[in-house]
Amino acid sequence: MTERPKKACKESLVIKTSRVFPQDTNNHNTLFGGKLMTYIDDTASISASRHCRVGIVTASTDSVDFLKPIKNDHSVCLESYVASVGRSSMEIFVKVISENLKTGERYLAATSFLTFVAINDEGKTVTVPEVYPETDEEKMIFEGAEIRAKARKERLKGSRKLAESLSIDVPWHRL
């Protein structure tokens, strides 16, 4: 068996900063959660692509934890990188930092973990490079990967079981 190439977490680092405008906010004058989730998936997908340099698909959004609201006229900065890998899967960590552009106060607004799978042009999974952490933060995130992977597999089992009992018929009579 050939040894897989190894890449540092930082090789997949993506940083995206945007300003929060009124059209990005809800009735509480804070960033729409769905807008932030779009930003999260976007940055995470770029990290996954940078790591494996083949096609990728989102397999799951494992968590999005909204810690503090992001207000209108603040900036929102997302940092993402590949935190751990399986054979063809990649766990991406996303850290969301907001900044009050008038005062300079910065705070952690959200964190997220997503899983992407590497695929070839035929849609078949392909092996991804291994990943190794270097910074204290990367090491801390990396160390928790096995526990998160187990939880992800259990959650997927539960989702599949639930799906077996759900109807896919549209309840037209209720519309």
Q: Which domains does the chain have, with CATH numbers?
A: 6-164 (3.10.129.10)
What pTM was estimated for this model as a whole? 0.91
Average pLDDT over residues 25-40: 96
What is the distance between the alpha carbons of residues 111 and 116, in angstroms, rounded to a whole number? Answer: 17
Instruction: Report pLDDT for 154.
Output: 93
Q: To the nearest whole percent, how much of the chain has pLDDT over 90?
A: 89
Mean per-residue pLDDT, 139-165: 93
141-158 b/e with 16+ CB inside 10 Å = b? bbeebeebbeebeeeeee
Percent of the chain residues past pLDDT 70, beyond the cut:
97
pLDDT at position 170 is 74
pLDDT in tens, 73-92: 999 999 999 999 999 999 99
Q: How many CA atoms lie within 13 A of 20 on its CB side?
A: 25
Average pLDDT, the chain: 95
pLDDT of amino acid 169: 79
Q: Which residues neighbour 3 within 8 Å (Cβ) at sequence distance 6 or greater?
A: none
| Locus of tokens 């909204």 | 66
Provide the pLDDT for residue 167: 83
Spatial separation of the C-alpha atoms in residues 64 and 21, rounded to whole Å: 22
